[in-house]
Structure 1
Amino acid sequence: MADPGNRWNWEVKGFEPKKSSQYEDQNRPAPLVRRYSISSSSILPHQQLSKHNLATKLQKLNDKVMLAREDYAALKQEASDLHEYSNAKLDRITRYLGVLADKTRKLDQVALETLARISPLMSEKKRLFNDLLTVKGNVKVFCRTRPLFEDEGPSVAEFPDECTIRINTGAHTLAHPKKDFEFDRVYGPHVGQAELFIDVQPFVQSALDGYNVSVFAYGQTRSGKTYTMEGSSHDRGLYARCFEELFDLSNLDSTSSSQFSFSVTAFELYNEQIRDLLAESGKSSPKVLMGSPGSFVELVPEKVDNPLGFSKVLKAVLLTRGTDVSKLNVSHLIVTIHIHYNNVITGENLHSKLSLVDLARSDGLAVDNNSGEDVTDLLHVMKSLSALGDVLASLTSKKDIALTKIQCLPRSLQTQWVEMLKL
């Protein structure tokens, strides 16, 4: 027997032997875990459903492709039809344009033939119109009276008829203190600018027909010369009315083969010296030579295309001239409208001028002071106006104009007389 003292002491603190039941549980085999699996019989319906959905989608896509192909075929056929239709229309239009072009050529030919027949008639009309004015007189003298100012006495003028003015001289010692003066036309104080222009209009037409025309405003200080030429903002003067008439008439006479163009020159003549009113500042002033037929004056032309453009040029001219007020009454203002006509078919080229002149005062030597400068200015004015009167008298009597009389005028005014046909 073993010594009880040598036996293991199983009663160790903190150690507890397993019970027999625990050994049984440990030795007992673990239970089997059941594994679930899908049999082929359950997978087959799912695959069939997916295939069915794919087949459905594929069928829809095929249907869309078929519709797209049908639409493409329809559009292709429509494009082909439109192409054939447009080609047919284009052929018809081309043939029609050819017919129109042929008719246009024929009409152009007829127009040229008509123009060839009309041109001599138009030239004859211009010549006859000019002859009519010549028979009536190349020189027309109109007398215009203005209304009285507040500081002026009673009127001494009477108007027996449209061509006569009767002046009461106040000479009671005479048997007939009233004297009659006859003119081509007399305008009373009530006559406006428009009525005055009616008698000037035929000369504007003559200028457009290719003849040189000059219009002069002559008279004493405060007689209304400048007003007649310039007018006012509400009643235009001869400057504006003449150009407007030229512009309107040119539009009526212009054709596809002929046209008019206009340019303007303007200068001031003071003591036989010329000042170009359209020249740019800083440039040398043009000069005028006296008594030499070969002398000439160069002026700066300003092209104008319409009445508004002419008004702007005229305004600039008057502003430039007005910078020296002391010269206004003793200087001449000459505004010339240059008229150019060109006909590309007949080759006709015409150049004429309409000169509008605001002359210096005709007061003579009645000056307020006897300064040498004033006397010199008035002597130059009297000299030029005297020569002007001699030339007018010669033209009126249809006598030859003496060369010495013309040479007494400044070169700038000589051209107005030598080249003119109407005054």
Structure 2
Amino acid sequence: MRYACRKKSRCWKRNISVEEKQKIDEGWRKSEAERRILQNQVLELKGNVRVFCRLRPPLANEPPEITAFQTPGPCEITCFPPGGKRISFTFDRVLNQHIQQEEAFEEVSALVQTALDGYKVCVFAYGQTGSGKTYTMEGDIDGPNRGIIPRATEQIFDTIEELKARDWSYEVKVSIFEVYNEKFTDLINPDENGRAPEIFTDKTTKEPVFVNLYRATAEKPSEVQTLIRRAQRRRHVAATKCNERSSRSHCVFWMQFSGKNSATEETTAGSVYLVDLAGSERSEVSGATGVRLQETNDINVSLSALDRVFVSIMAKDSHIPYRDSRLTHCLQPCLGGSAKVLMMVNLSPFDVKESLKTLRFGKKVNQCHIGTARKRC
């Protein structure tokens, strides 16, 4: 669903009275409130935890035809493992190898929009090394191959600009950090030698709170693009047998919004987490040794912790093990009962064994329900 008020207001060719303007504004506020309610209801009917699957196309050095996977419908993918029976999986949406970046973002744009309405939103990419996670989340900073993060940024600032005409003003804060070897690294702090971010649990709210995490104020997409480029230069990447440029850390792009309507005194606060997870891989396949082996082990430990969190959510356990890893601890606010979550499982078309593991994890997450999302005011 596209944002209902994306079209800019047309200029009136006649003067209108104060009373007429007040009536028009009141009508707009009423329709906008109804839009928010209806959009949230639609998303909740779809589920507060949704799973999309994206199959990347063959690379230049790979066979041109994909034979191990078929996508018979918009929500189904079938795997044909060598020497085994075919296995089918159903998700909220399946994006085949022909889907371009723009169409992929269309599927998540309504979810991103709800962050401005006052909800916590999380979109994260999961999959093996070399499956297209970073391309899906970041892609190019500009141009047609822009990924979810730059497109979401553009959508958010476009919407904020349109809402100014309706007496809304927003403050936007941006943080970008990575979880590398179970430690946080701030990727945009101008002081590269500053104290590393840490996290603790607030005794009152029971939610994690960061200290020493840089929060940049942003007023337009170009400022966010500058921050993204800075983060890309600093993020840990390395070559492995699976991928010549493999992300060795989990990268979290976090935008926080606080809005106020000067006419009605209404306030809202929301946030969006856009997460590019490090690739899951087996150390014997990746050929990792030394530092690379330690990275691989830490990546797999944190991904296992994420698995346990979703298993506990699915089982409706009274205790969810968020604090088993730095990754799950920092994502606790957007994996709990007040959030909307979308996981994009990314598949390599030729590594069937690892892709099956990814699909099975996605199926598990798709069975989770985290309750009714709550708006923060």
Bucket of the pairwise TM-score, normalised by the shorter protein: 0.7 to 0.9
Distance 2:291 2:234 in 1: 22
Provide closer, same or farther for how the CA distance between residues 127 and 364 of structure 1 changes in structure 2, counting only shifts above 3 A.
Answer: farther
Distance 2:199 2:282 in 1: 24
Matched, 1:165 2:77: yes
Deviations along 1:348-386, whole A, 9 cap, x unmatched? Answer: 221111111000111133355564644443333223222
Cα-Cα RMSD: 2.8
Q: Can you give the 5+ residue segments of structure 1 that lack an aligned partner in the other structure?
A: 1-102
What residue in structure 1 maps to residue 269 of structure 2? 351
Q: Which amino acid aligns with 2:210?
A: V
Shift of 1:281: 2.4
What residue in structure 2 maps to residue 301 of structure 1? 215
Shift of 1:402: 4.3
Q: Which amino acid aligns with 1:251?
A: E
Question: TM-score, normalising length from structure 2?
Answer: 0.74
Matched, 1:406 2:326: no
Q: Can you give the 5+ residue segments of structure 2 that lack an aligned partner in the other structure?
A: 1-14, 240-244, 343-377
What SS does the aligned partner of 2:225 have? helix
What residue in structure 1 maps to residue 106 of structure 2? 198
What SS does the aligned partner of 1:148 have? coil
Distance 2:90 2:303 in 1: 21
Provide closer, same or farther for how the CA distance between residues 150 and 318 of structure 1 changes in structure 2, counting only shifts above 3 A.
Answer: closer
Matched, 1:185 2:98: no
Shift of 1:287: 2.0
Deviations along 1:319-346, whole A, 9 cap, x unmatched? Answer: 1225x64795331000012222111222
Q: Which amino acid aligns with 2:340?
A: L
Q: Which amino acid aligns with 2:194?
A: K
Shift of 1:139: 1.5
What residue in structure 2 maps to residue 421 of structure 1? 340
Distance 1:231 1:295 in 2: 30
- Please state which structure has a larger fraction of its residues in strand: 2
- The percent of aligned pairs where both chains have the same amino acid is 30
Provide closer, same or farther for how the CA distance between residues 312 and 294 of structure 1 changes in structure 2, counting only shifts above 3 A.
Answer: closer
Pairing partner for 2:138 from 222, 227, 230: 230
What SS does the aligned partner of 1:303 have? strand
Q: Which amino acid aligns with 2:303?
A: L
Say which one has the larger Rg: 1
Deviations along 1:303-327, whole A, 9 cap, x unmatched? Answer: 22122222112111111225x6479
Shift of 1:254: 2.7
Deviations along 1:65-106, whole A, 9 cap, x unmatched? Answer: xxxxxxxxxxxxxxxxxxxxxxxxxxxxxxxxxxxxxx99x6
Shift of 1:301: 1.2
Provide closer, same or farther for how the CA distance between residues 127 and 321 of structure 1 changes in structure 2, counting only shifts above 3 A.
Answer: same
Matched, 1:267 2:171: no
Distance 2:61 2:266 in 1: 56
- Specify which structure has the bigger relative contact order, considering alpha-carbon pairs within 8 angstroms and separated by 6 or more residues: 2
- Trace 1:114-133 onto structure 2 (pairs within 5 A): 115=25, 118-119=28-29, 121-133=31-43
Distance 1:116 1:401 in 2: 45
Provide closer, same or farther for how the CA distance between residues 170 and 325 of structure 1 changes in structure 2, counting only shifts above 3 A.
Answer: closer
Shift of 1:400: 3.3
Matched, 1:287 2:198: yes
Matched, 1:211 2:119: yes
Distance 1:346 1:291 in 2: 32
Pairing partner for 1:378 from 265, 288, 296: 296
Question: TM-score, normalising length from structure 1?
Answer: 0.66
What residue in structure 2 maps to residue 341 of structure 1? 259
Distance 2:261 2:275 in 1: 30
The 8 Å contact of residues 367 and 374 in structure 1, kept in 2 or not, is answered as no
The size of the alignment, in residue pairs, is: 312
- Please state which structure has a larger fraction of its residues in helix: 1
Distance 1:361 1:346 in 2: 47
What residue in structure 1 maps to residue 247 of structure 2? 329
Shift of 1:142: 1.1
Provide closer, same or farther for how the CA distance between residues 246 and 236 of structure 1 changes in structure 2, counting only shifts above 3 A.
Answer: same
- Trace 1:62-101 onto structure 2 (pairs within 5 A): none
The 8 Å contact of residues 211 and 422 in structure 1, kept in 2 or not, is answered as no
